[in-house]
């Protein structure tokens, strides 16, 4: 999500290219099959990479705190 310069309104919504969760900060950029994508977490980046490499159901363990930190 990108706020306006004055912070009073939302300029545009930015979502993770894997799970669709709103990204409030800069997110994580990664290149998947030559296309630059934006992800909310390292887990989503790993999962999308595995899917792009032909793994139908990637078995990537979740971090202890979960993939989406809500601090």
Task: Provide the number of structural domains found in the chain.
Answer: 1
What pLDDT is attached to residue 40? 93
Is the per-residue pLDDT at 68 higher than 70?
no
Report pLDDT digits (tens) over 20-62. Answer: 999 988 899 999 999 999 999 999 999 999 999 999 999 888 8
Let me know if residue 44 belongs to a domain.
yes
Note down the domain range covering 8: 2-52
- Considering the domain boundaries, does residue 8 fall inside one? yes
Is 32 inside a domain boundary?
yes
Residue 30: inside a domain, yes or no?
Answer: yes
Is residue 20 in a domain? yes
Q: Which residues of 20-42 are buried (b: 16+ CB within 10 A; e: fewer)?
A: eeebeeebeebebeeeebbbbbe
* Residue 66, pLDDT score: 66
Q: Is the pLDDT of residue 67 over 70?
A: no
Does some domain include residue 6?
Answer: yes
Distance, C-alpha 1 to centroid of its chain: 12
Mean pLDDT of 14-22: 93
Q: Is residue 71 in a domain?
A: no
């Amino acid at each position: 999500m990108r706020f306006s310069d004055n912070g009073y309104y939302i300029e545009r919504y930015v979502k993770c290219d894997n799970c669709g969760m709103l990204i409030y900060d800069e997110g994580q950029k990664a290149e998947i099959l030559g296309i630059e994508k934006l992800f909310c977490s390292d887990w989503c980046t790993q999962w999308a990479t595995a899917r792009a490499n032909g793994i139908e159901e990637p078995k990537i363990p979740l971090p202890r705190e979960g993939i989406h930190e809500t601090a």
